[in-house]
Amino acid sequence: MVTVAQARSLLFGAPRRSLAVRLPSVRDLGPNWYAAVMGTAIVGTAGDALPVRVPGLHTACAAVWTLSAVLLWVLLAARAAHWIHHRDRARAHLLDPAVAPFYGCLSMALLAVGVGALSAGRDVIGAHVAVIVAGVLFAAGTAVGLVVAVAVPYLMVVRHRVTPGTASPVWLLPVVAPMVSASFGPLLVPHLPAGQSREALLLASYAMFGISLLATLLILPVVFARLVHHGPLPLALTPALFLVLGPLGQSTTAVNKLADVAPVAIDAPYAHGLGALAVVYGVPVMGFALLWLTLAGAMVVRAARAGLPFTMSWWAFTFPVGTCVTGAQTLAGHTGLVAYEWLAIGLYALLAAAWVAAGALTVRGVLRGELLTARR
């Protein structure tokens, strides 16, 4: 005898699961996932600015930027569902010193996609829309970044239980976000009315440059001291060493882009001085970035020989390296040295390879259900 439930199943198919049943997959979706958006966006942005003309490169970069924009909206929706349906986990993330710093990735994901809208995405959405999208994402990303730059260090002091020897390059994430805003602001300066508006945005960008730079100078010595006194990071966390490249490459990019627009936003004496600062600051910082890249690369090779597993920390190989690509690109423009152009091309090849590897393994991990399940 066929029951009513069986008859309904035969006629209409199996009953659909409620929203509450389908959502557990986002229960353990942390803010670190925004790193995938950052890494994807900068592949498109940095590639579109390379000092070479390769057939199809611009189209490929536009496609990659479009992918980053789609990923951003998907993650924003998923993270909103996470906060609505799993507030206990969301609060636990904020109170976890290993997870809370990743909230800086939200700001940088918004900003990275916004920057790309004005370059690789310009032909996709149109010039006028690109400026509007960039302006909205700049405002949202900057606001989030400034809040996170204060809130996360505050939580680390008053709520987190940070034990000796646990310092990590991940601590840099909340304070790097304002530096991304500092390199984004100059792109919007020419779209503002001449006078007070342009000067205000220029100087605000320099202020955010200072916020991030000085905070980085506080944190980086602690991170290096942890490495010296307590040895290498755990295998799964080793890729995070590449995060140190973020403030280095991004600050070089910012100071050079700010110098590019200074003549249209501020008086000549200051504009000339800011142009000199771009080279005086950028050259030694890029040199240190290359030193750290070599050191971090050696540590990753060591970890790989010991069985480095794939985790979402592999996305640290993308955005930080991408900032060095854009830093080298801007230095090439200010110094005229072909060597910086070749450096940018070489670093971009590394970035592209890292993005393909991290992206492919992330897709595999999602399809297998491995990355969305917390290890307890």
Q: Which DSSP symbol is given to 29?
A: -
Terminus-to-terminus CA distance in the chain, angstroms? Answer: 45
Closest by Cα among 326, 238, 338, 226 to 286: 326
Cβ atoms of 255 and 323 within 8 Å: the answer is no
- At residue 352, the 3 state secondary structure works out as helix
| Percent with pLDDT over 70 in the chain | 92
Cβ atoms of 108 and 63 within 8 Å: the answer is no
pLDDT score for 179:
97
> Is 171 exposed, middle or buried, given 0-12, 13-18 or 19+ CB atoms closer than 10 A?
buried
Neighbour count for residue 66 (Cβ, 10 Å): 18
| Backbone dihedral region for residue 195 (phi beyond 0: left; psi -120 to 50: alpha; all else: beta) | left
Handedness of CA 104, 109, 110, 111 (dihedral sign): positive
- Three-class SS of 128-191: HHHHHHHHHHHHHHHHHHHHHHHHHHHHHHHCCCCCCCCCCHHHHHHHHHHHHHHHHHHHHHHH
Residue 229 and residue 272: Cα distance in Å, rounded? 44
Q: What mean pLDDT is reported for the chain?
A: 90
Neighbour count for residue 64 (Cβ, 10 Å): 24
Average pLDDT over residues 235-263: 96
Q: Which DSSP symbol is given to 13?
A: -
pLDDT in tens, 44-90: 999 999 988 888 999 999 999 999 999 999 999 999 998 888 888 88
pLDDT in tens, 142-195: 999 999 999 999 999 998 888 888 899 999 999 999 999 999 999 999 999 999
pLDDT score for 52:
87
Cβ atoms of 267 and 195 within 8 Å: the answer is no
Residue 167 and residue 222: Cα distance in Å, rounded? 7
Cβ atoms of 209 and 286 within 8 Å: the answer is no
Task: Using pLDDT thresholds of 50, 70 and 90, give the confidence band for residue 126.
Answer: very high
- Judged against a pLDDT cut of 60, whether residue 376 lies above it is answered with no
* Rounded (5°) CA angle 153-103-259: 85
Residue 332 and residue 320: Cα distance in Å, rounded? 19
Closest by Cα among 136, 132, 101, 117 to 30: 101
pLDDT score for 25:
66
- At residue 210, the 3 state secondary structure works out as helix
pLDDT score for 27:
80
The residue that leads in pLDDT, 17 or 242, is 242
- Judged against a pLDDT cut of 80, whether residue 24 lies above it is answered with no
pLDDT score for 166:
86
Neighbour count for residue 38 (Cβ, 10 Å): 29
pLDDT score for 371:
82
Cβ atoms of 240 and 170 within 8 Å: the answer is yes
- Judged against a pLDDT cut of 50, whether residue 14 lies above it is answered with no
Task: Using pLDDT thresholds of 50, 70 and 90, give the confidence band for residue 346.
Answer: very high
pLDDT score for 85:
87
Task: Using pLDDT thresholds of 50, 70 and 90, give the confidence band for residue 374.
Answer: low
Task: Using pLDDT thresholds of 50, 70 and 90, give the confidence band for residue 361.
Answer: very high
Task: Using pLDDT thresholds of 50, 70 and 90, give the confidence band for residue 2.
Answer: very low
Structure tokens at 192: 């503002």
Helix H segments across the chain? 4-12, 19-22, 34-48, 57-85, 87-94, 104-117, 122-125, 127-158, 173-188, 196-230, 245-261, 268-305, 319-335, 338-367
Cβ atoms of 114 and 138 within 8 Å: the answer is yes
pLDDT score for 22:
42
Q: Provide the residue type at 331 as one letter.
A: L
Q: Provide the residue type at 127 as one letter.
A: A
